[in-house]
């Protein structure tokens, strides 16, 4: 992770920890409401939500 933005790295780690604790599948959340619904997950912002959405489609 040399040269990467430390803020971004921490943001992804925090989001990953939160996602690991979800009781509902990310794909189901994305299908229900897209990026807008994914952004409701704590610690998941616009950029991470968009990447998740593209990944689960």
Confidence of residue 13 (pLDDT cuts 50, 70, 90): very high
Cβ neighbours around 44 below 10 Å, total? 22
Does a structural domain hold residue 1?
Answer: no
Look up the domain containing 51 and give its range: 6-56
Question: Is the pLDDT at 2 greater than 80, yes or no?
Answer: no
Cα–Cα distance measured from residue 57 to residue 43, given in angstroms and rounded to the nearest whole number: 21
Q: Give the model's pLDDT for residue 57.
A: 87
pTM of the full structure: 0.86
- The answer to whether 48 and 15 have CB atoms below 8 angstroms apart is yes
Does a structural domain hold residue 20?
Answer: yes
Give the pLDDT confidence of 15-47 residue by residue, as tens digits: 999 999 999 999 999 999 999 999 999 999 999
Q: How many domains does the chain have?
A: 1
Does a structural domain hold residue 48?
Answer: yes
Question: Is the pLDDT at 3 greater than 80, yes or no?
Answer: no
């Amino acid at each position: 992770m040399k040269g990467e933005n430390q803020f971004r790295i921490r943001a992804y780690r925090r989001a990953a920890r939160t996602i690991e604790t979800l009781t509902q599948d990310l794909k189901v959340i994305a299908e229900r409401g897209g990026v807008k619904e994914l952004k409701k997950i704590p610690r998941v912002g616009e950029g991470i939500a968009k990447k998740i959405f593209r990944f689960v489609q």
